[in-house]
Amino acid sequence: MAALSLLRRRGAALALPAALGAVQAAPLLTFVPPLKPLWPRVNGAGRTDHVALTFDDGPDSASTPAFLDLLAERGVRATFFLLGTMAVRHPGLARRIVDEGHEVAVHSWDHRNHLRHLPGPATREQLERTVDLLEAQTGVRPRFFRPPYGALTAADLVAARQLGLQTVLWTAWGRDWEEQATPESVAALVGRDLRGGATVLLHDSDCTSSPLSWHATLGAVPLVLDACERLGLAVGTVGEHGLTPPPIAA
């Protein structure tokens, strides 16, 4: 409670490392209503005329190419938050993502919940290992980070800042990982929170989701893009969303 009071007094995300140090923060801390206005960048609130389209859990040779083909057809760029283990398993896809004008970002090395299963001191190793791999595969250093499950910890924020990564969660999702998800259900859930400045969370891989759930996501993407078009909103990457990463800490 003392740490949260300090955070409220300072009113900025940069206060968290000093306030909490190596103490693990609560999962989904930035979604607590009293704190949400203090964390617009971390929550993914960006340009009011723009929507950031993001995909987690890839790259996956069984599904990611279909998303890339669809985005190419629609002339839309997106940000892919990649797992290091998947990038090793499916070499070449991270480079294709970048070559086609999209953005690669860090989703950690594996999909462990950082709050429950990753000791704080190991967090930087997870992130740095993934940054180094993606930079080696693509020639581009990632600039953004999203923790698995959105289970954000103080150690995440400290490590991300040390590596020059801006932490970005989301403001809208479609629960597309569920077995019963359909293109219509995914698009409808995204639509509830679809507005200027939104960051949309979807998944281009079912590696941590119900088998073949990515088909529902793939079917939902055109519906989401059509909705953005009706609202007069541009769709693009997190980097185009106005969420500039911090400088790499000394």
- H or E element that contains 86: helix 84-89
Contacts of 237 (CB under 8 A, 6+ apart): 52, 53, 77, 78, 79, 102, 103
CA distance linking residue 207 with residue 138, whole number of Å: 22
Mean of pLDDT values over 104-127? 81
Tell me whether residue 111 is one of the annotated catalytic residues. no
For the whole model, what pTM was predicted?
0.83
50, 56, 57, 241: which is the annotated catalytic residue?
56
For the chain, give the mean pLDDT. Answer: 84
203, 204, 206, 241: which is the annotated catalytic residue?
203
Tell me whether residue 56 is one of the annotated catalytic residues. yes
Domains and CATH numbers, the chain: 2-8+16-32+40-241 (3.20.20.370)
Tens digits of residue pLDDT in 170-216: 999 999 999 999 999 999 999 999 999 999 999 999 998 999 999 99
Total residue length of the chain: 250
Question: Regarding beta strands 144-145 and 166-167, do their DSSP bridges make them parallel or antiparallel, or are they unpaired?
Answer: parallel
- In contact, 104 and 136? CB cutoff 8 Å: no
The proportion of the chain whose per-residue pLDDT surpasses 70, expressed as a percent, equals: 78
Could you give the count of Cα atoms lying within 13 Å of 16 in the half-sphere of its Cβ? 24
CA distance linking residue 188 with residue 95, whole number of Å: 32
